[in-house]
Structure 1
Amino acid sequence: MRIDVLTLFPVMFEGVFGSSILGKARDKGIVSLNTVNFREYAHNKHNTVDDYPFGGGGGMVLKPEPIFAAVEALTATAERPPRIVLMCPQGEPFTQRKAEELSGEEHLVFVCGHYEGYDERIREHLITDELSIGDYVLTGGELPAMVVIDSIVRLLPGVLGNEQSAVTDSFGNGLLEYPHYTRPAQFREWGVPDMLLSGHHDHIAKWRREQSLLRTLRRRPDLLDAAELTPKEREWLAKLKANGEL
């Protein structure tokens, strides 16, 4: 996969792209991570990328010319057009399902804005996806882009040491993940559940599934409406709720 990021602050990505899972993925050649300062594509001697909004109002608006020129330069020799993702609080809420969808692409271009917003022609005639990581506003799109890129890259084959990790993550199967324990088996007065020490893999799998269902019911019951549950599981959860056992 190739990922290009249009940003006025490329230095913000140096530590993130060179460290941990992203850094290892890049070193393995699984993903190419690049930053492009779209100020270099400004059409004037002062490299201006923003201007006052027509009609008045506070703040500055990013001009269309530099962003269009940067994207067109990146995609001039592409065999097929990439997905061009605008990070914006008005965008579609980012989810694990969207990460899975985007992880199947060969080339992604992220556009990180600043100031008051973008010229609307960028949205209308250049962008394929608008994404938001939450109902709040940040100073720029760089931090959201890092979040989205991290969640996508970790899904690529060969990135994680254990491919099963991404499958069992929270939201991977529509539910929250079951609790984990490690050594020591006894820490202070708190022990590990006996089931996990039993060695019975089928029983452990059943326990983990039940714990995942319980955790989802307690913390994110809204997820259960779309989760793939058996009739027996739905009946079990309904009984727990009816008996007040949560």
Structure 2
Amino acid sequence: MNIHVLSLFPEMFTGVFGSSILKKAQEKETVGLSVTDFREYAVNKHAQVDDYPYGGGAGMVLKPEPLFNAVEALSKDGKKPRVILMCPQGERFTQKKAEELAKEEDLLFLCGHYEGYDERIREHLVTDELSIGDFVLTGGELAAMTIIDSVVRLLPGVLGNDDSPILDSFSTGMLEHPHYTRPADFRGMKVPDVLLSGNHAKIEQWRMEQSLKRTFERRPDLLVDIELSKEQKTYLEKLKNGKA
């Protein structure tokens, strides 16, 4: 996979792209990450990327020319990548969307600043508008980093254990079960006996119940759209009735 980012502040990505899982993914050549300052594609001698909005109003608006020129320059063999606009008005980003994007060969993220984008960028250049939540950031860079991290970790071989992303919270439709490690007794706080039993069937049963319980308590909205097994439905009823 190749991921390109267009930003006026490419230095913001240096630490994130050069650390941890994203660094390892590049070393394995599973993903290529690049950041371009789209000011390089401005059309006047002052390298201007923004201008006053027609009709008046506060703030400055990103001009269409630099972003159109940059996307066209980065498109391989004339094939435009999936172009993602980071915007608080966009579709709410989810794990399902991350899984969808992880199947692409080329992604290109547009990170804006100032008051907003010229509407022609939305209408004729981008394929997706994404938001990471109902709040406003100074620019799209931090949001793009978040999405890129969540997508890259889903690529085969990146995490070392390909089962890890399958069992993550939201990937199954529910929140993940609790985890414990050594020591078994820390300051009187003990690991549940079932996890020390060696009985894998009971351990999986416990994990299923804990995952369902945590989701019911913290994010009951997630249970509306997922299909539960008969066993899960029975346990959910116990939770609702306070008998679990």
- Scaled to the shorter chain, the TM-score interval is over 0.9
Maintained 8 Å contact 2:209/2:235: no
Displacement over 3 Å in runs of 4+:
none
Aligned position for 2:64:
64
Amino acid in structure 2 at the alignment position of 1:147: T
Given that 2:213 and 2:239 are in contact with CA atoms closer than 8 Å, whether structure 1 keeps it comes out as: no
Matching of residues 230-241 of structure 1 within 5 Å: 230-241=229-240
Deviations 1:119-139 (A, max 9, x none): 000000000000000000000
Q: Which amino acid aligns with 1:186?
A: D
Match of 1:21 in 2: 21
Structure 1 position 240, deviation (Å):
2.1
Q: Which amino acid in the other structure matches residue 139 of structure 1?
A: T
Number of the residue aligned with 1:139: 138
State the Cα distance separating 1:234 from its structure 2 match: 1.5
Per the TM alignment, residue 221 of structure 1 is displaced from its structure 2 partner at its CA by 0.4
In 2, Cα distance between equivalents of 1:98 and 1:117: 24
- Give 1:87's aligned residue: 86
Matching residue of 1:185: 184
Distance in 2 (CA, whole Å) between partners of 1:214 and 1:100 is: 25
Gapped regions of structure 2 (runs ≥ 5): none
Q: What TM-score results when the alignment is normalised by the length of structure 1?
A: 0.97
Offset from partner CA, 1:162-214 (integer Å, 9 cap, x none): 11110111001100000000000000010000000001111111110110000
Q: Give 1:236 deviation, angstroms.
A: 2.3
Pairing of 1:1-246 with structure 2 (within 5 A):
1-78=1-78, 80-242=79-241, 244-245=242-243
Q: Secondary structure at the match of 1:87?
A: strand
- CA drift at 1:40: 0.3
1:131-152: CA deviations, max 9, x gaps?
Answer: 0000000000000000000000
Deviations 1:38-92 (A, max 9, x none): 00000000000000000000000000000000000000525x4311000000000
1:93-136 CA-to-partner distances (Å, cap 9, x unmatched) read 00000000000000000000000000000000000000000000
Identity %: 67
Given the two structures, how large is their TM-score scaled by the length of structure 2?
0.98
Q: Which amino acid aligns with 1:185?
A: A
